[in-house]
Structure 1
Amino acid sequence: YGQSMRTWQSTPDGREGFQSIFLKKRYPIYLLDQPRRGLAGQSLEPKTLESRTEDQLWFGIFRLGEGTSFYPNVQFSKTPEALDQFFRRSTPDTGPLNINLNIEAVSQLFGKIGDGILVTHSHSDGQGWSAALKNDRIKAIVAYEPGSNFVFPENHIPEPISYVGGTLRASGIAMEEFQKLTKIPIVIYYGDYIPENEVENPGQDQWRAALSMARKWTKTLNDAGGDVTLVVLPEIGIKGNTHFPMSDLNNQEIADLMYNWLEEKKLN
């Protein structure tokens, strides 16, 4: 929501982004924008864009801090210029959100570029699972902080998880379809400041629900023969990361985690 390929090109405080980091590691990189967003902004369906100030909302939801204060030891740059650039990167959708259209676009892209690894973030993570179901040229998925669109076998859909401001629900697909996800390695990363128990802070509580659902999804897929690794960064000693680990001050360390996983899975 509200982001574009700019997230991967450089950090808000001017450091190298994952694009340059992985090009230097000799990985070919394709950056894409979802239809009706960023450089893919031309839309055949109209949408009214409203002028809104949402910086405070996203400061909390993206777990930079609470209120107007950064979290202690946060890995995001605390300079006013970096925060300003971070918010200025936000981009509106130029047409209605169409998840099926997004999935089809990614599938068609892999149909052109051939075998590759799909790297997703946040709202696009759930669409990533569906793209892999649609196109077997997606040979692995790296997902940063999935928050929605978890798919389970039809007879194993977990109970919805309530959080401050909403409810997270999973969807069901046929077991035969679900089994396709067991054929590729998947790694999921979550950052810091995500509580284990319910809290009143809506910015934290929705990620508690997401992480809880991700754990259920990981177990269900691995029990079915899959290869899913779920990494909660503070549990391995990496602390202070926000919802944007690829932009945080330690993004080189975060990139190394992904690089090492790719090497381990022989995806280089």
Structure 2
Amino acid sequence: MVAEQGSYAAGGTIETTPGTFDPVALISTQGNTNHGDHAYVRYQTPVRARRLPLVLWHGGGQFSRTWETTPDGREGYQSIMLRRGWSVHLVDQPRRAGAGQSTADAPGQLAGPVDRSLWQLFRLGVYPDFFPGSQFPQRREAVEQYWRQRVQDTGPEEQEVVVAGVSAVFDRVGPSVLITHSNSGKYGYLTAARQPHVRAIVSYEPGQIVVPDDYNPRPVSTTDPTIRALTAPVVIPATAFRRLTRLPIHVVFGDNIPTTPSPYAALDFWRIVMARTLEMRDLVNARGGDMTVQSLPEIGITGNTHFPFSDLNNLEVADELSHWLRSRDLDRR
């Protein structure tokens, strides 16, 4: 049973134009304000909720729809984790979807026909084919729903704006577990490095890592400058990185990630991402932390795409999440 549900905005800025506001004019361009750059959150709290809520943050080109009903109509994490006793807060990051009010104009966006390129990047397969044994729902209607959950930003994706907005969510919710996906992975690390209410991180296929400024990242085995740039570690002060060594971090990857160089750039990207993530794990743990990296196929859960939480076996994937939360004593009521 749901005890409480609703929505709210968190954080944000206020833009004010110079001059004196004229209330007589239909729209006065002087002395006016624009409230923007906040995060937007929808939440549900079950009866007898567990002590720590889950804050779920979408990836790049996505919004909170990621965690809702799956493309083929099954329950997503929004409902699965609610049924398991968790309060669930679904985030739209600043300048995206429900948090679309921006104080800056959007630059050129990734609009137009890119779906077939994302087919490889999201590891459905090599277009138009699915990988053998893929857990992606392959009916035409499901694929159609999948592509229609992609959105564009309404302003530039600025690191400080994004992190400040989601950090404000934790100021409101209090101690919670942060669950990120893909592009929000790096932002989740940056949020946790400044926000004491982040008590743990679970990250599904984060695209970038963070490292302290007293560390020299390992060289990567790619000659592709775009892959090299997209997977370059984000450097933060060592004092901020230390915060990441004081909370449990769990990273999950799906299937079909190459272990040797691939001729498909979108797949080879994930080979480098995996190497970088293992590098961060080693660094965090060497400094006294608790970071684990789980490869689903290595534990017998196979066929997963870049969206394992909405694939056909998402209940199995959710079971692994529940097991990890329990193993770190994060699931108390």
Q: TM-score range by the shorter chain?
A: over 0.9
Q: Give the Cα–Cα distance (whole angstroms) in 2 for the partners of residues 172 and 249 of structure 1.
A: 36
Larger % of helix: which? 1
Would the aligned equivalents of 1:77 and 1:83 in 2 still touch at CA under 8 Å? yes
Q: Stretches of 4+ moved more than 3 A in 1? A: 48-51
**Alpha-carbon distance, 1:177 to partner:** 2.0
The question of 1:174 aligning with 2:237 is answered yes
Which of 107, 122, 136 is the matching residue for 1:62? Answer: 122
1:29 correspondence with 2:112: no
Structure-2 separation of matches of 1:171 and 1:12? 33
Partner of 1:99: 159
| Equivalent in the alignment of 2:179 | 119
Instruction: Tell me which moved more, 242-251 or 174-183.
Output: 174-183
Corresponding residue number in structure 1 for 2:270: 207
Q: Which amino acid aligns with 2:157?
A: L
Separation (CA, whole Å) in 1 of partners of 2:62 and 2:201: 19
Q: Over residues 100-141 of structure 1, what are the superposed CA-to-partner deviations in whole Å (9 max), with x where a residue is unaligned?
A: 111111111101110000000000000001100111100000
Comparing 196-205 with 112-121, greater Cα deviation is found at: 196-205
The residue number in structure 2 matching 1:5 is 64
Higher strand share: 2
Q: Distance in 1 between matches of 2:103 and 2:196?
A: 29
| Counterpart-to-counterpart distance in 2, 1:258 and 1:143 | 10
Q: Is contact 1:145–1:188 with CA below 8 Å preserved after alignment?
A: yes
Letter in 1 for 2:227: G
Q: Kindly indicate whether residue 184 of structure 2 is the aligned counterpart of residue 184 of structure 1.
A: no
Q: CA offset at residue 98 of structure 1?
A: 1.1
Q: What is the rounded CA distance, in whole Å, between the counterparts of 1:50 and 1:24 in structure 2? A: 36
2:302 match: 239
**CA displacement, residues 146-204 of structure 1 (integer Å, 9 cap, x when unaligned):** 112x2112232313433644212113333222111111001000000001111111121
The runs of 5 or more residues in structure 1 that have no matched partner are none
In the alignment, is the contact (CA less than 8 A) between 1:233 and 1:239 conserved in 2?
A: yes
Q: In 1, distance between residues paired with 2:218 and 2:88?
A: 38
User: 1:172 is paired with a residue of what secondary structure?
Assistant: strand
Give 1:18's aligned residue: 77
Q: State, as a whole percentage, how many aligned pairs show the same letter.
A: 40
Q: What corresponds to 1:88 in structure 2?
A: 148
CA contact (8 A) 1:106 1:131 kept: yes
Read off the aligned partner of 1:166 and give its amino acid letter: I
- For the residue of structure 2 that corresponds to 1:30, the secondary structure is strand
Q: Which has the higher contact order (CA 8 A, sep 6+)?
A: 1
Q: How does 1:133-148 map to 2 (within 5 A)?
A: 133-148=193-208
Q: Which residue of 2 aligns with 1:159?
A: 218
Residue 73 of structure 1 aligns to a residue in which SS? coil
Q: Distance in 2 between matches of 1:180 and 1:227?
A: 11
* C-alpha RMSD over aligned residues: 1.3
List alignment gaps of at least 5 residues for structure 2.
1-59
Determine which structure has more spread, i.e. the larger CA radius of gyration: 2
CA contact (8 A) 2:194 2:240 kept: no
1:51 shift after superposition = 4.8
Give the count of matched residue pairs: 267
SS in 2 for 1:209: helix
Relative to the length of structure 2, the TM-score reads 0.78
Aligned-partner residue type, residue 173 of structure 2: I
* 1:10-41 per-position Cα deviation (integer Å, ceiling 9, x unaligned): 10000000010010011001001011111111
- Cα distance in 2 for partners of 1:70, 1:139 equals 37
Q: 1:46: which partner in 2?
A: 105
